[in-house]
Amino acid sequence: MSHSLKALFDLGGQVAIITGGSRGLGFQIASALGEYGASVALVARKQQELDAAVAALGEKGIAAHGFAANLAGPEAPAALVAQVMERFGRIDILVNNAGTTWGAAAEDYPLDAWNKVMDLNVTGMFLLTQAVANAAFLPQGGGSVVNIASILGLVGTPPWQTGTVAYNAAKGAVISMTRALAAEWGPRNIRVNAVAPGFFPSKMTAGTLDRIGDRMIELTPLGKLGGETDLMGPALLLASAAGAHITGQVIVVDGGATIL
């Protein structure tokens, strides 16, 4: 039996939720999945940014709708999923990209900062994934989760950088959660994978890159930071039937920074 490679990547008729989807890495992924046919549900806190992102995707012929939500609260994930199901009738792909960070020395790290990072990056991600599974993936008989982790979930922060112990711990938890859910839900035809980006220019990394961006580039074998298209291919692979036999895996997209 022959299969068209284009057909394996085709997401026509599918619906994808992308959290933190109004800008940065989330918007990049939304553009990729939308270009290959998915209807896109963008989630972010600010309606104005969502409206701009939906308009930009619309100019590319991508069907998109914005949902304003703060996913840090315990009730928010289920409410969001209900809205998406009402609007689209199904969910096939979940991209967990929303996240936050906080920099401070470990010995001085504030508890409220720790809780903020953990609540969104770990608890909020789990609750949304659970809600999507219950409302859509399990009843439909399958789905794909793409968690956006980080290389800081795999390595420590160098001594010359500001410490980000909660972010590192949270992204390590995301990677472990990815494997645990993939193992548990594999028999239910739900695939769960992660992408671990290195440093990409974004609103969240701007301050860090201003201080030490040049040094990071020097320590990266490919000699550059992540670009505007570098997450598109990995996300499309993991979301589509082209990645149908991939689950519980972490694809590192860092220009080789973590191999040194």
Q: Which of 79, 177, 74, 156 is nearest to 119 (CA)?
A: 74
167 is catalytic: yes
Of 167, 185, 199, 200, the catalytic one is 167
Q: What six digits make up the tokens of 92? A: 């096939």
Amino acid at 142: G
Q: Which of 208, 129, 116, 209 is nearest to 166 (CA)?
A: 116
Residue 35 sits at φ, ψ, to 5 deg, of: -60, -30
CB 252 within 8 A of CB 154: yes
Tokens 């896109």 sit at which residue? 40
Q: Which residues are catalytic?
A: 167
